[in-house]
Amino acid sequence: MRTILNGRYFLWVLMALPGIGLLVGYSRGAMDAMNMLHPTGEFGVRFMVIAMCIGPLADIFGSRGWTQWLLRRRRWIGFAAFAYSVAHLIFYIIDMGTLADMLAELDAPGIWTGWLAMLLMAVPGVLSNDASMRWLKRGWKRAQQFAYPAALFTVLHWGLLEWHWGGALVHIAPVVLLNIIRIIKLKGLSPA
């Protein structure tokens, strides 16, 4: 049983559960495409934040059982962030209905920042597989760094769309704080 709970398929199913629930609601007509935008985007951000916190946690706390467990699963969690972001984009396209309508609002800051975040997130998302790791070698880690500007543009997208920055800032705060602590620890600036 422990092997099953610790396996990749269990984690994949666990991360897919919110999406399955949303799709069931959408397929039954309980939610329309517009109502799917916020939850799919929010789950994308949540999984992105979790994935981006794993590296700093490992650097801060060192090699421990739980940090190694998280590091081995970070790529899967990051891919879940990408998958929810793709779902967010699909429901945006469905909600808008036509290319003309999408192009008409492309100059709005809350929209183009979302498109840019999606393009940046697509780099690590598409390359999050074993074949890409073998092909790119050391370049694979550099490609994964696209997650940081993607996170920045995601926060801008969220804040500019809603003109309420609280939710976006609360979600990204753990990444910022853990990276500050990591920098302090790695630079030897901590008073110890």
Within-domain flag for 121: yes
- Checking if the pLDDT of 191 tops 70, the result is no
Long-range contacts of 112-117 (CB under 8 A, 24+ apart): 113/153, 113/154, 113/156, 113/157, 113/160, 114/153, 114/154, 114/157, 114/161, 116/153, 117/85, 117/150, 117/151, 117/153, 117/154, 117/156, 117/157
**Domain of residue 65, residue span:** 32-186
Within-domain flag for 12: no
pLDDT digits (tens, 9 = 90+) for 69-110: 999 999 999 999 999 999 999 999 999 999 999 999 999 999
3-state secondary structure 27-59: HCCCCCHHHHHHHHHHHHHHHHHHHHHHHHHHH
Helix axes 65-96, 8-27, angle to 10 degrees: 20
Within-domain flag for 138: yes
Within-domain flag for 4: no
* Separation of alpha carbons 33 and 72, rounded Å: 34
How many domains does the structure of the chain reveal?
1
pLDDT digits (tens, 9 = 90+) for 27-55: 999 999 999 999 999 999 999 999 999 99
Within-domain flag for 16: no
Compute the average pLDDT of residues 129-156: 85
Compute the average pLDDT of residues 163-191: 85
pLDDT band at 189, cuts 50/70/90? low
